[in-house]
Structure 1
Amino acid sequence: MHSPDAAAPPTAAELPSVRYDELHRLGPRALWRPLAGIVFLVALVFAAQLLITAIVSTGLYLGGLDLDQVADRLGGDPVTPTFLALVNLGWAAAIPAVWLVARALHGQTPGWVASVVRGIRWRWLLVCLGLSVAALAITVGVASLLPAQGTGTVDMDGSLNAWTSATRDFLLVILLLTPLQAAGEEYAFRGYLTQAFGGLAGRMGPRAGAAVAVVVPALLFAVAHGIGQDAPIFFDRFAFGLVAGVLVILTGGLEAGIAMHVLNNFLAYALALAYGDMTEAIHPADGTWWSIPVTLAQSVSFLVLTVLVARRMGIRTRTGQGILEPRRRPV
């Protein structure tokens, strides 16, 4: 990548043609950099989450709660609006952490983590949100035709939950912070980790490098959701990570994964608030194999729709291809 004191960044035509998972080739290419970056990123996110927890805990204590009440609010069993806000803020902190690691170790500006055009393509992100709605509608339809898929799914034939102050607080947290949480996870797993493992495996060849760049972050994404998951729930999260990783490469950026992640969480939380239980929605424990057709319906439909629309719109998938669509605004 160009040096910080260069007169001007290279134009698209001057850049080598590389995929999203190969973007670390544009900067310093020593093998230790992505390895150190992974460790550095984990440490930064963990430290940020500890700091946020300390700030929130202190605020609750100064607001009049005793230590036991603070622990109840933040313990996660049951899930409270404060706990959900804490989780969302903790993952949102991954975005600046990724930017810092990418800049320090790879010479990247924030836009290079977003896409091959050096920024979020906002029009494309809005299109992906619409495609996510379509895919989720298909998913809900498939789920309604199958037997119960275990804890964390919702029976919409039951009565609506009562509206309470907790419902209001959950709704505010979901609307304001869940998009940041989803984007933070995508920046970490489909952003930095995809580029890091793509750089590490690039010497194996382009196809093998792409496979490693998709599969390993997807596996880590599923594991990061907890070691107590049963097989169907793990498969669901692993499949989500695979589809999001494939779309990063096929569309050249994080927009599709962010859109799918945000809408998926919105739907899950909304159904839990309306008909189910937030604790079971966030900590599902006993999924069934009937969840697999539902997972495949969402994954395959969104993947197919997104790739078809991306090709029709001429969405760039590599650097150095010339400008096929204008950048609306920087990251």
Structure 2
Amino acid sequence: MVDQNPYYPPPTGEPVTPAQPWGPPEPAATAPEVTQGYEYHRIYRAGRQGWGWYVGGILTSLLLFFVVGAVVVLAGAIVLLLATGTPLGELGDRVAALASTDDVTPSVLLFLNAVLILGIPSAWFCARVLHGVRPRWLASVAPRIRWRWLLASFGVSLLTLFIALVLGALLPGASESEDVSGGINAFTDVTRDFLLVIVLMTPLQAVAEEYVFRGYLTQAFGGLLRNAQVARFLAVLGPALLFAVAHGAGQGFAVFTDRFAFGVAAGILVIATGGLEAAIAYHVLNNLLAFGFALFFGDMTEALNASGGGWWDVAISLVKSAIFVALSIYVARRMGIRTRTTPGVLEPTGGRV
């Protein structure tokens, strides 16, 4: 059930001052979003208003995602190591090895994925507590995961990745990381363990990153400004920049550009399709392809510590993202996917919605 502000819109049609300081500052300006429905990145305009809620939410979400999540998983790892008989003298080294990507093992990949997956409840927490909006509005304007659209997005993603692989094979300048002339890696127990972690955990890790960067942060940046047009640019560029920075200081400029472009493409899709489904499908398949390639043809440590890359790779990635955005928007329009909330479902309110 959605709480609605009984003072908005006023019965007489005259503007009123909201009872709470975090209510809509200008009812006349927000009226079109109430009568036409909110775009995905503007949903928090129906929640608590004020710079403090948005800026505080952005900082809190990053703190929860990068610090608190790591502490929680680290504490769980310590308990597990002690319970399995690890001597106290070895505990520090074992824990340090888990948190280091200098030598990636299945345990290290599991640890990193577990930390990132906790981004989902952290995004839910920020939406509910800081903005008074139910977490389900992070999924889409429905508000839920639209499974039919998610399935279609996986199909579009597969087609796009196939086109990208063909382009990579035809165009010059392929990076050394894509050289498979050495043949397939031997299948060992370590390969099996890596495969289990990738299949079971990597999709959730990709979903979590989308909930944080294209979900919560897109809505927080998108609600920060009253001007809806300027807010649209901020909602795409802000999370994309943070997404690229979050992948580490050791990445080269080409890799940073590639990840920033990925974030921009995913951010455009979230707003253009009204939800996370297309971005989730694209991110999941990209990660599965990257880790699968590294597992069977390359090296997992190099894959997680990518610091360089050819500009041909970046160009192919940009073309791939552009193709996916165009195809996804086309298919979404053909399927009649909503890009706004149902009019009247969300109204500015001081309470939870």
TM-score by length of 2: 0.84
Q: Does the 8 Å contact 1:149/1:287 carry over to 2? A: no
Q: Does the 8 Å contact 2:101/2:304 carry over to 1? A: no
Q: Mapping of 1:1-331 within 5 angstroms?
A: 2-3=2-3, 16-45=36-65, 46-65=67-86, 66-67=90-91, 68-150=93-175, 153-201=177-225, 203=226, 205-320=227-342
Q: Does the 8 Å contact 1:74/1:83 carry over to 2? A: yes
**3-state SS of 2:278 partner:** helix
**3-state SS of 1:290 partner:** helix
Instruction: Give 1:207 shift.
Output: 2.0
Distance 1:317 1:217 in 2: 19
After TM superposition, what 4+ stretches of structure 1 lie above 4 angstroms from structure 2?
13-16
**What do you get for the CA RMSD once the two structures are aligned?**
2.3
Q: Does the 8 Å contact 2:35/2:344 carry over to 1? A: no
Instruction: Give 1:70 shift.
Output: 4.2
**Of 33-42 and 306-315, the range deviating more from structure 2:** 33-42
Distance 1:106 1:157 in 2: 53
Give CA deviations for 1:107-159 in whole Å, capped at 9, x if unaligned.
Answer: 111211111111111111111111111111111111122345446x3223331
Q: Does the 8 Å contact 1:132/1:259 carry over to 2? A: yes
Distance 1:64 1:143 in 2: 48
Indicate the structure (1 or 2) with the bigger Cα radius of gyration. Answer: 2
Q: Does the 8 Å contact 2:294/2:300 carry over to 1? A: yes
- The AA in structure 2 aligned to 1:92 is I
Instruction: Give 1:63 shift.
Output: 2.5
**3-state SS of 1:285 partner:** coil
Distance 1:143 1:278 in 2: 21
Instruction: Give 1:227 shift.
Output: 1.2
Instruction: Give 1:239 shift.
Output: 0.5
- Relative to 1, partners in 2 of residues 1:174 and 1:4: Cα closer, same or farther, differing over 3 Å? farther
**3-state SS of 1:18 partner:** coil
Q: Which runs of 5+ in 1 are unaligned?
A: 7-12, 324-331
Distance 2:81 2:188 in 1: 21
Distance 2:99 2:85 in 1: 15
Question: Aligned residue pairs: how many?
Answer: 314
Q: Does the 8 Å contact 1:19/1:319 carry over to 2? A: yes
Distance 1:198 1:107 in 2: 16
Instruction: Give 1:310 shift.
Output: 0.2
Q: Does the 8 Å contact 1:74/1:80 carry over to 2? A: no
Q: Does the 8 Å contact 2:98/2:111 carry over to 1? A: no
Give CA deviations for 1:8-42 in whole Å, capped at 9, x if unaligned.
Answer: xxxxx986512101101111222211111112212
Distance 2:104 2:175 in 1: 19
